[in-house]
Amino acid sequence: MKNRNRQHYTSLTGGIVLAASLLPAIGFAADDTKAKPTPPAGGGIAQEKTVPVIVSGKWTGKRLPDGQPDISGDWSNTIANHNNFTDPQGRIPGEPDRPGVKRKELGPRAERAPSRVSDPVDGQLPLQDWALAKVKEFQIGFHNPVKQEHVEPLARCAPAGIPKSFYWHGYEIAQYPHYVVFFFNSGTRIIHLDGKPHLPSSIKLWNGDSRGHWEGNTLVVDVTNQNGKALLGRSGEFLSENARIEERYIFSPDGQRYNYVATITDKDVYTRPFTVTIPARKWTANDKPNGWHFEVEKANSPQGNYEHYERICTENNGGFGLGAASPTK
Amino acid sequence: MNSTLNRHWSPLYLVVAMLMTLSQPTLASEKIPRLANGKPDFSGIWQTTSAANDDLEPHSNRKDAPPSAGIIEGGTIPYLPEALEQKKRNFENRETLDPARKGWTLGVPRAVYYPAPFQIFQRQADLNLVPQFGHSVRTIHTNGSGHPTDPNDWWLGDSRGHWEGDTLVVDVADFNDKTWLDSAGNFHSDALHIVERWKFLDKNTIDYQATIEDKNVFSRPWNIEVILYRHREKNFQLIEDYRFTLDYDQFYPPKPETK
């Protein structure tokens, strides 16, 4: 029986040895990259170091029959993965040296992509003191977890949530009348465009509950009903279940780029609202498949188009799923 | 004059209108939703009312299921002798072995008749089936492509559809052996092959039929049929149900120390 699914590697770089003590209880993500050292910053994921300017305005490009700007297709962030939220092309905070692994010097901060935090302008998250202490604890614990809380939920195949889904592998955006749907590597997000009210606030979800509308070239989405469980990265920042996220997906006139600009208001964890900016580019049939950004296979058809194979994680997760399906046992 | 005539004749108009309404079922095929290319449009949120997920076969009531006549043409599954023994073991241990109890992918066809809503997002080239339960997304390709020439063994198999009139016929192959067909332990091997037939009975009802074959487990192909109803409740929507995370949900997010 063959199985070469690539969706189950939740890349726990840094985190494999560490979890030995937790393994019997919680298990661990099966990881086909675990024997390899952490790639250098970006490691092929980084496509660029800057964020292009894209302004909100009229949409002049192609439209779908229902009137939506046609932005369907495969997309991926251009900067980095979730190793480090505020220094995206830096290292995982607190990452210890590994014997025999020579790491490239990072050089000055200014030579790397800017923080994903675009407001405040210093690029730092306005964490409350208690929350900052928790983040620092995680940044130590991540490399040698002694508590369940030190394990990155994504390593357990949990959905990456918001905003991390936008810098965790490439994803497909599909559009239908009344919907924009994100097919992420680690879950699905349905944006409702029909103006229905949000779910009752007692319902808490990994991907929240999303209501959107188009303003010219910009998809504006209001997200509530967060469960706050998905971390922002391996750097440990987090939201509470009372976070409210106002997202603006601002598409370039040629439809090949967009900037994700989200204002997050969370009085339980932060001292003020802050803004997250993540640049993304489109991947098309003209691009070669890419194991991070563009996980596609050639279809068995004369057109030779690309298609996605199934996205699976928890079931293939040797430690958690198959080895310790019921940690309460 | 005219108004008098109208009043006089209106009961007859009413009768005619009623007759036309009564004859609508024969015209149902003209009223179903269609894509721009004329093919039936199954977009919407669907769910069965059957007890198929409890047990595809006829069964009396039991602690974890209501009684049901089952959904199998001919009544029972034609297991090979050894496979029948496996099925019995599965049934005995269903509480711990059923993949759905772990929140795992339901697979095909189980996700169709699992008692929770699923949403179909349909385009000309494909249908994406998003079950509320779990995390999986099943794509049925309707762009004329075939099964991959070098396939994986997938949890959901590989689905290629084509249209026969207004019926969507889907060939599903390249499975692994890890999903169950229901919570009673009915199972399959990685040789599972399914042919599904999806068609509208009316705009809010789908007739779903499937032929199931697996030479390692069954002595012959067998057929199931369920009816799927459209969710029409006001503001109805899927609510994500990633229940495989429940065992560790308690550890996140960090909270302030309580004094």
List the single residue in B99, B190, B238 with the smallest CB-CB distance to A190.
Answer: B238
What residues pair up with B187 in beta bridges, in sequence order?
B180
Q: What is the pLDDT of residue A314?
A: 87
The span from the CA of A325 to the CA of B7, in Å, is 73
B123 touches chain A (CB under 8 A): yes
Determine the pLDDT at residue B251: 96
Q: Which of A266, A314, A316 to mutate to test the interface with B (most CBs of B within 10 A)?
A: A314
Residue A242 contacts residue A262 (beta carbons within 8 Å): no
Burial class of residue B15 (count of CB atoms within 10 Å of its CB; 0-12, 13-18, 19+):
exposed
Question: What does the pLDDT read at residue A98?
Answer: 83
pLDDT band for A303, please (50, 70, 90 cuts): confident
- Residue B200 near chain A (CB below 8 Å): no
pLDDT of residue A262: 98
Confidence at residue A327, expressed as pLDDT on a 0 to 100 scale:
39
Q: How many CB pairs below 8 A link A and B? A: 155
Q: Which pLDDT belongs to residue A102?
A: 83
Q: What is the predicted pLDDT for the residue at A310?
A: 93
Contact B141 A307 (CB under 8 A): yes
Question: What pLDDT is attached to residue A190?
Answer: 98
Rounded to two decimals, the ipTM of the complex is: 0.88
Contact B178 A315 (CB under 8 A): yes
- Are the beta carbons of B177 and A308 separated by less than 8 Å? no
* Two structure tokens written together for B60: 């009396």
CA of B256: which chain A residue's CA is closest?
A: A130
Spatial CB neighbours of B238, under 8 Å, sequence gap ≥ 6:
A190, B45, B117, B118, B119, B130, B132
Sketch the domain layout of chain A as residue ranges.
Answer: 43-93+112-311
The domains of chain B are located at 30-246
Q: Closest approach of chain B CAs to the CA of A175, in angstroms?
A: 9
Residue numbers in B near A203 (CB within 8 A): 239
Residues in chain A with CB shorter than 8 Å from the CB of B192 are none
Are the CB atoms for B133 and B148 separated by under 8 Å?
Answer: no
Q: Residue A280: pLDDT band by 50, 70, 90 thresholds?
A: very high
Count of beta carbons in the 10 Å neighbourhood of residue B147: 15
Bridge-based pairing of strands A244-251 and B193-202 is unpaired
| pLDDT at residue A103, as a whole number | 82
CA B125/CA B146 separation, integer angstroms = 13
* Percentage of chain B exceeding pLDDT 90: 87
With bands split at pLDDT 50, 70 and 90, how would you rate the model's confidence at A326?
A: very low
Query: What is the model's pLDDT at position B57?
Result: 98
Q: Is B59 left (phi over 0), alpha (psi -120 to 50) or beta?
A: beta
Chain A residue whose CA is closest to B245: A158
Write out residues 50-109 of B within 8 Å (CB-CB) of A: 96, 99, 102-105
* Cβ B111 vs Cβ B118: under 8 Å: yes
Best mutation target, A310, A313, A316, A326, to test chain B (most B CBs within 10 A):
A310
Q: Does B156 touch chain A (CB under 8 A)?
A: yes
Site from A154, A210, A315, A328 to mutate, B interface, most B CB atoms within 10 angstroms: A315
Q: Which amino acid is at B178?
A: K
In the prediction, which pLDDT does A49 show? 95
pLDDT at residue A4 is higher than 70: no
How would you class B59 by CB atoms within 10 Å of its CB: exposed for 0-12, middle for 13-18, buried for 19 or more? middle
Query: Mean pLDDT, to the nearest integer, of A43-64?
Result: 92
Peptide bond preceding A163 in cis form (omega within 30 of 0): yes
| Residue ranges in chain B modelled with pLDDT below 50 | 1-7, 9, 14-16, 19-26, 28
Task: Please state, in angstroms and rounded to a whole number, the distance separating the CA atoms of residues A293 and A171.
Answer: 8
Q: Do B104 and A190 touch (CB under 8 A)?
A: no
- Do B154 and A310 count as a contact with CB atoms less than 8 A apart? yes
Q: Which residues share a beta bridge with A308?
A: none
Q: Which residue of B130, B176, B249 is in closest CB contact with A188? A: B130
A299/B143 Cβ within 8 A: yes
> In the beta sheet, which residues pair with residue A278?
A260
Q: Does B232 touch chain A (CB under 8 A)?
A: no
Q: Is the pLDDT of residue A97 over 70?
A: yes
Residue in B with minimal Cα distance to A151: B251
Q: Measured between beta carbons, which residues in chain A are less than 8 angstroms from residue B104?
A: 314-315, 321
Task: Please say whether the structural domain B30-246 has been given the CATH code 2.40.128.20.
Answer: yes
DSSP string, B34-48: B-TTSSB---EEEEE
Nearest CA to B100 among B15, B185, B31? B185
Report pLDDT for A27: 32
